[in-house]
Amino acid sequence: MTAPLVPLFVKLAGREVVVVGGGAMAALRVRQLAEAGARVTVVAPEVRDDVAAGAAAVHRRPFRPADLDAAWLAVAAATPAVNREVAEAAEARRLLVNAVDDPETATAYTAGVVRRGDATVAISTGGRAPALAGLLREALDALLPRDLASWVDTAEAEREGWKRARVPLATRRPLLLEKLNSLYARAPSPGAAAPTPPGLVSLVGAGPGDPGLLTRRAADRLAEAEVVLYDALVDADVLRLAPRAHCFQVGKRAGRPSVSQRAIERLLVGAARQGKRVVRLKCGDPFVFGRGGEEARALAAAGVPFEVVPGVSSAIAAPALAGIPVTHRGLAAGFAVIAGHDERTYGPILDRMGAETSLTLVVLMGIGARERIATRLLSRGWDRETPAAIVLGASSPDAFAWKGTLAGLRHAALPDHPELPGTLVIGAVAALQLTSSRADARDHEPLAPAQSA
């Protein structure tokens, strides 16, 4: 183990920092330093445009030791030989040097940083494992509360009062903890869920993906959870709502190894019997092709308390986000939902649906079976021009919609995103286009305009 480092947070605003190098690594440091308000001078024979754009001064020539005479910090982002020259010049001037991807030359190291307002958390591996520092930074980012900046404001305000009242330093920390806890001790709003008792399993619907479309009770259960067993397609941002939980992916994907249903049920029962608050997090709604009924029966048979927290089923949400109502006066008086992964199951249902039906047909998990489904319906007398649509990743940044006809459905060209959940919609309503011009509340691009056959 190397000698321990002394962590410091340094004010560089308005101070001279010299960056030696003009390539990709220099670009990263120049951007970081410029954001901190430093006056950056770049020295290198060749300098990229993005490096020059972030610098206050650029010298397109080889490094000279005198370049560091007015510097507060040096950054070596060049070749190993040049980095050693910079380090020797910095040492002679008692100046710290950060050598990018060259830890032996450096006397100062950057860190993986998480910021919430004026709260800054940084982690370093002494330059030995920057990729690990990045992973740890991501873990901290997931664990730290989103409103940490308000904690800083609260602590600052309390500190002023303590100083005036001459409150001893040793007693301030428990007082601050009590004050921070009071931020969350407000009376629950109408309809808010009661705290989850220990040893309870919550079968929670995650909706179509966007965390903003979760129910309030679902968000509450995730915040309190100690164990979360989640489906493969659950959005990573939803898991961030469970900062205290151990999260395990147990979802099933076609053609891939997965945890068996019986094993999932044993995990739920075992964790609950240990007194854990457990969430079984399912895409859409737990009871719509989510095997929630099987898990509920297993929990009941084991004598384990459980609850069901409904979610917005993708059977309704995906078409809606693409501007397709599954019912519409004069076009569709109802809708039927089937799963498209097993023709032995859905085949007899399609055979009983007449070609003149006023129902909208919604198929979940049926992207790979769309040709067989369309062919089967056409063989039963359905019109080739029946409107049809495909919606992929309905509430995700990669959302995509295709609209065409039943005949065209068989060979619809789709983007190469096999991980995106897909929904088929067949019926007159698929021809409607009722989307708003306003993007959704998740701050990503709205659903891609429908591609027509």
Model confidence pLDDT, tens digit, residues 414-423: 887 767 788 9
Q: Which residue has the higher pLDDT, 150 or 238?
A: 238
CA distance 235 to 213: 12
- Residue 434: both structure tokens together: 């009722």
The CA distances from residue 182 to 143, 154, 177, 187, 422, in Å, are 20, 11, 9, 11, 44
CA distance 282 to 206: 6
- Residue 235: both structure tokens together: 């959005």
Q: Are residues 22 and 44 in contact, defined by beta-carbon separation less than 8 angstroms?
A: yes
Instruction: Calculate ∠ Cα 34-39-43, nearest 5°.
Output: 95
pLDDT higher than threshold 60 for residue 186: no
**C-alpha torsion sign, points 88, 93, 99, 102:** positive
Note the pLDDT of residue 49: 93
CB atoms within 10 A of CB 421: 22
Note the pLDDT of residue 249: 86
For residues 37-62, b (16+ Cβ closer than 10 Å) or e, as one string?
ebbbbbbbeebbeebbebbeebbeee
Element (H, E) at 136: helix 130-143
CA distance 178 to 449: 51
What number of H helices and E strands is found in the chain? Answer: 14, 18
pLDDT higher than threshold 90 for residue 119: no
pLDDT higher than threshold 50 for residue 437: no
- pTM attached to this predicted model: 0.54
Number of residues written out for the chain: 453
Instruction: Give me the phi and psi of 11, to 5 degrees please.
Output: -85, 115
CA distance 227 to 215: 19
pLDDT digits (tens, 9 = 90+) for 83-105: 999 999 999 999 999 988 788 88
pLDDT digits (tens, 9 = 90+) for 203-222: 999 998 889 999 999 999 99
Note the pLDDT of residue 448: 52
Q: Are residues 427 and 332 in contact, defined by beta-carbon separation less than 8 angstroms?
A: yes
Q: Are residues 319 and 425 in contact, defined by beta-carbon separation less than 8 angstroms?
A: yes
Note the pLDDT of residue 263: 87
Question: pLDDT grade, residue 139 (50/70/90)?
Answer: confident
Note the pLDDT of residue 439: 40
Note the pLDDT of residue 192: 58
CA distance 243 to 348: 45
Q: What is the percent of the chain where pLDDT is above 70?
A: 90
CA distance 377 to 393: 25
Domains of the chain, earliest start first? 16-110 (3.40.50.720), 148-182 (no CATH), 200-312 (3.40.1010.10), 315-452 (3.30.950.10)
CA distance 115 to 96: 24
Note the pLDDT of residue 260: 84
Note the pLDDT of residue 366: 87
Q: Which amino acid is at 1?
A: M
Note the pLDDT of residue 21: 94
Q: What is the mean pLDDT of the chain?
A: 85
Mean pLDDT of the 263-279 span: 90
Placement of tokens 């078409």 in the chain: 319
Element (H, E) at 137: helix 130-143
Q: Which of 179-188, 351-360, 382-391 reaches the highest mean pLDDT? A: 382-391
The CA distances from residue 197 to 83, 191, 200, 317, 339, in Å, are 59, 18, 6, 31, 35
For residues 325-361, b (16+ Cβ closer than 10 Å) or e, as one string?
bbeeeebbeebbbbbbbeeeebeeebeebeeeeebbb
> Which residues, 6 or more positions from 291, have their beta carbon under 8 angstroms from its beta carbon?
261
CA distance 383 to 378: 7
Q: Are residues 40 and 17 in contact, defined by beta-carbon separation less than 8 angstroms?
A: yes
Q: Which residue has the higher pLDDT, 449 or 116?
A: 116
Element (H, E) at 300: helix 292-301
pLDDT digits (tens, 9 = 90+) for 350-384: 988 877 778 899 999 888 889 999 999 999 899 99
Q: Hey, which residues are catalytic here?
A: 231, 252
pLDDT higher than threshold 60 for residue 426: yes
The CA distances from residue 168 to 159, 173, 178, in Å, are 11, 10, 16
CA distance 21 to 41: 10
